[in-house]
Amino acid sequence: MKLKPLADRVIIKMVEAEETTKSGIILTAGAKEKPEVAEVLAVGPGGTVDGKEVVMTVKPGDKVITSKYSGTQVKIDGEELTIVRQGDILAIVE
């Protein structure tokens, strides 16, 4: 990866939304919601951020849920990625 996150930043990639519902109904592109689950690709080192010590609790490979409109979108090698602060991550999906 050509991006290396700094401080408490995390690089994530949104996971594609399901194309079928649990009951087997196929969804059209317009009916799909914006994906809310993302995969962590890279994690910054943490450290002191805004005068507070930050310990990174996520790791590459984790599936996470973030705030809907958080982060900065970037396009690297044709891939759409999002850079968020660890504080914008709401939960880890197990």
Supply the pLDDT for residue 19: 59
The answer to the question of residue 1 being in a domain is no
pLDDT, residue 32, reads: 47
Number of domains making up the chain: 1
Q: Is the pLDDT of residue 26 over 70?
A: no
Over the range 54-75, which residues count as b (16 or more CB within 10 Å of their CB) and which as e?
A: bebeeeeebebebeeeebeeee
For residue 47, the enclosing domain spans 9-93
Backbone angles phi, psi at 87, to 5 degrees: -65, -20
Specify if 88 maps to a domain: yes
Average pLDDT, rounded, for the chain:
86
Where do we find the tokens 């599936």? 63
Tokens of 20: 């079928």
Residue 3 lies in a domain: no
Q: For the domain that residue 53 is a member of, what is the CATH number?
A: 2.30.33.40
State how beta strands 72-76 and 79-85 pair. Answer: antiparallel
| Mean per-residue pLDDT, 45-74 | 92
* Global pTM exceeds 0.95: no
pLDDT at 27 over 60: no
Residues 36-49 have a mean pLDDT of: 92
- pLDDT score for 30: 55
- Report if residue 2 sits inside a domain: no
Residue 4 lies in a domain: no
